[in-house]
Chains A and B, each alone.
Chain A
């Protein structure tokens, strides 16, 4: 009996090791965060293609560098990589915009708003879906008015649900800064969305 239990335990342990070795745990983590990470990237970048590229890049970098770290460390590390990639794209856009303006063009000539152009999502209750889409669109517009660091703090804390310590790691700043940025973001957003909130 003891031998059978010992064998069963050993087999369970081997199964666990095999699961870890095959990356099942990190796959589950990536599956859990990928859609939200994409939406967060889209809030900042407002381009579907670039948002997808950013998420893919963040996933590859996490796997390449941190797959062997404890899984509890993955969320802040992943969002730190994601935020860095978002900033890279934003910096590139600023440079491109300046170059274009220097040569007489304007960045807006080639930019578009994919969210505004996108068809409304189809659901079982189109009215509810439309309301939800409107709410998110209003929120995204308001978020674009915020300074970048406040927007980062808000998306990580509110959308992704990271705690203050995790957000501080993701944003490469102190916990105090996170609290300040988040608090300011909330108050500013409340002001901007006050009319919208009253209509609901």
Chain B
């Protein structure tokens, strides 16, 4: 019998011994393994729940940034350099982390506010 064949028989026997020992695991151990698995899966659920919340922050931040850029750059009437540099200064301030967080939270409110007819009317009456 070649060594290779001998090894192969030996490998089969060791694998069988191991598989038998896994099959013979007692109920208490299996129960603890099940609990361990549930803990791991609970962690996944917690991460995914947290992940969705955190995914909203960059999305909101991006929307807020786009709005700020649009309002400060494109809605600013053409003017001299001093005004433009002030607008850029405002942009820099608005793009600070704290301001973006605030905008993210309040964006929905400002959107709602803009849609209210009384405020729209007030804007029209001005000037």
B119 within 8 Å of A by Cβ? Answer: no
SS of A interface (majority):
helix
B125 within 8 Å of A by Cβ? Answer: no
Contacts of A159 in B (CB 8 A): 14-15, 18
Pairwise interchain contact A186-B36, C-beta atoms closer than 8 A: no
Pairwise interchain contact A55-B33, C-beta atoms closer than 8 A: yes
- Of residues 1 through 52 on chain B, the ones whose CB sits less than 8 Å from some CB of chain A are 6-7, 10-11, 13-15, 17-18, 20-22, 24-26, 29-30, 32-34, 36-37, 39-41, 43-45, 47-48
Q: Which listed residue, A60, A62, A67, touches B39 by the CB 8 Å rule?
A: A60
Number of chain A interface residues as a range: 35 or more
On whether A186 and B30 interact (CB within 8 A), knowing A23-B41, A63-B40, A132-B21, the answer reads no
Contacts of B18 in A (CB 8 A): 36, 39, 136, 139, 158-159
On whether A27 and B24 interact (CB within 8 A), knowing A139-B14, A158-B18, the answer reads no
A162 within 8 Å of B by Cβ? Answer: no
Pairwise interchain contact B22-A63, C-beta atoms closer than 8 A: no
A35 within 8 Å of B by Cβ? Answer: yes
A187 to B33 Cα, complex, angstroms: 33
Pairwise interchain contact A52-B33, C-beta atoms closer than 8 A: yes
SS of B interface (majority):
helix
- Of residues 40 through 80 on chain A, the ones whose CB sits less than 8 Å from some CB of chain B are 48, 52, 55-56, 59-60, 62-64, 67
Q: Which listed residue, B21, B32, B41, touches A133 by the CB 8 Å rule?
A: B21
Distance in Å: Cβ of B5 to nearest Cβ of chain A: 12
For A128, give the chain B residue with the smallest CB separation. B20
Pairwise interchain contact B45-A23, C-beta atoms closer than 8 A: yes
On whether A56 and B39 interact (CB within 8 A), knowing A26-B44, A121-B24, A123-B24, the answer reads yes
A34 within 8 Å of B by Cβ? Answer: yes
On whether A62 and B40 interact (CB within 8 A), knowing A132-B24, A159-B15, the answer reads yes
Distance in Å: Cβ of A71 to nearest Cβ of chain B: 14
On whether A35 and B20 interact (CB within 8 A), knowing A30-B37, A186-B11, A189-B14, the answer reads no
Contacts of B20 in A (CB 8 A): 132-133, 135-136
On whether A186 and B40 interact (CB within 8 A), knowing A35-B33, A123-B24, the answer reads no
Which A residues contact B (CB, under 8 angstroms)?
21, 23, 26-27, 30-31, 34-36, 38-39, 48, 52, 55-56, 59-60, 62-64, 67, 121, 123, 129, 132-133, 135-136, 139, 158-159, 161, 186-187, 189-190, 193, 197
Given contacts A26-B41, A39-B18, list 6 more A-B pairs with CB under 8 A. A48-B29, A52-B33, A55-B36, A56-B36, A159-B14, A197-B13
Q: List 10 A-B contacts (CB under 8 A).
A: A23-B44, A27-B41, A31-B37, A48-B29, A62-B40, A63-B44, A132-B24, A136-B21, A139-B18, A186-B11
Top 5 nearest A-B pairs (CB, nearest first) are A56-B36, A59-B40, A121-B24, A132-B20, A136-B21
